[in-house]
């Protein structure tokens, strides 16, 4: 494999890892935001309990993954640029 091909693979992997980091960060932010919101009307389909908690965790996890991949808030790019500059 040529150096250029390997470098491109490494860059793509780094971008993926930076996106994953941003998703984890956003997941933590969303969890804290959710704690601060009082839900008035419960859904009749999922009314409290562990099932609702699991559903919400999965839902917000997907929100953060999609957000980090498509509509990055800039953390991904900042980390990527920082690491590539340090590598030289």
Cα–Cα distance measured from residue 13 to residue 18, given in angstroms and rounded to the nearest whole number: 9
CA angle at 8 for the pair 73 and 83, rounded to the nearest 5° = 50
Please count the structural domains in the chain. 1
Radius of gyration of the chain from Cα atoms? Answer: 18
Q: Hey, what are 77's tokens?
A: 């790019």
Domain that holds residue 57: 3-87
**pTM passes above 0.75:** no
DSSP 18-85: HHHHHHHHHHHHHHHHHHTPPP-SPPSSS-SHHHHHHHHHHHHHHHHHHHHHHS--SHHHHHHHHHHH
29-86 residue pLDDT tens = 988 888 887 666 666 556 677 888 888 889 888 888 888 777 778 898 999 999 999 9
Q: Hey, what are 88's tokens?
A: 């030289």
């Amino acid at each position: 494999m040529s150096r250029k091909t390997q470098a491109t693979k490494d860059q793509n992997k780094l971008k993926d890892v930076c996106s994953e980091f941003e998703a984890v960060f956003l997941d933590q932010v969303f969890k804290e935001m959710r704690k601060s919101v009082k839900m008035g009307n419960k859904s009749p389909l999922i009314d409290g309990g562990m099932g609702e908690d699991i559903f919400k965790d999965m839902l917000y996890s997907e929100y953060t993954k999609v957000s980090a991949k498509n509509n990055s808030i800039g953390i991904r790019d900042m980390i990527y640029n920082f690491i590539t500059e340090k590598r030289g």
